[in-house]
């Protein structure tokens, strides 16, 4: 996976079930700076450069709209990516299954993950690891 970087230190996190039960987990999170979010969003907007090219593919206009919408959505997603979850490993507070959670990428507030065994929704709480530069 492109996000996987061994340089990101592992921190202690919590997996919280709706009833309040929780277990300790290990997570790797990248705090994104405003500068990274801006430049990354602009790179995603680069997709818009394809608009004049896809215009020549019939039925013309729908492809242009698809390129504009997809580029805009990807840029917005990157601009809102304050934290990137690289990895999350822990045991489910509901059933106890030890696992690697796959819901990585942009961290939402709250960031919800699903247990691969019991399918219950868990909240991943990862403390801030310092200010982003």
Chain positions contacting Zn ion, by CB under 5 A: 92, 94-95, 115, 117-118
Q: How far is the CB of 101 from Zn ion (least distance, A)?
A: 11
Judged by beta carbon, residue 15 or residue 67, the one nearer Zn ion is: 15
Judged by beta carbon, residue 113 or residue 115, the one nearer Zn ion is: 115
Q: How far is the CB of 114 from Zn ion (least distance, A)?
A: 9
CA–CA separation, 34 vs 15, rounded Å?
A: 28
Give the SS3 label for residue 84: strand
The string over 16-25, giving b where at least 16 C-beta atoms fall within 10 Å of a residue's C-beta and e elsewhere, is bbeeeebbeb
Q: How far is the CB of 92 from Zn ion (least distance, A)?
A: 3
Q: How far is the CB of 19 from Zn ion (least distance, A)?
A: 13
Rg (the chain; Cα; Å): 18
Judged by beta carbon, residue 41 or residue 115, the one nearer Zn ion is: 115
Judged by beta carbon, residue 75 or residue 124, the one nearer Zn ion is: 124
Half-sphere exposure (CA, 13 Å, Cβ side) for 91? 7
CA–CA separation, 111 vs 109, rounded Å?
A: 5
């Amino acid at each position: 996976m492109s996000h996987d970087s061994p340089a990101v230190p592992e921190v202690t996190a919590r997996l919280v079930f709706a009833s309040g039960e929780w277990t300790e987990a290990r997570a790797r999170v990248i705090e994104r700076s405003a500068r990274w979010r801006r430049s990354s969003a602009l790179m995603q907007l680069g997709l818009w450069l394809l608009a004049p090219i896809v215009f020549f593919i019939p039925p013309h206009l729908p492809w242009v709209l698809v390129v504009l919408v997809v580029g805009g959505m990807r840029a917005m997603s990157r601009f809102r990516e304050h934290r990137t979850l690289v990895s999350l490993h822990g045991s489910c507070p509901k059933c106890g299954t030890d696992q690697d959670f796959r819901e990585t990428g942009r961290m939402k507030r709250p960031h919800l993950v699903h247990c691969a065994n019991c399918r219950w929704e868990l909240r991943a709480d990862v403390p801030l690891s310092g200010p982003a530069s």
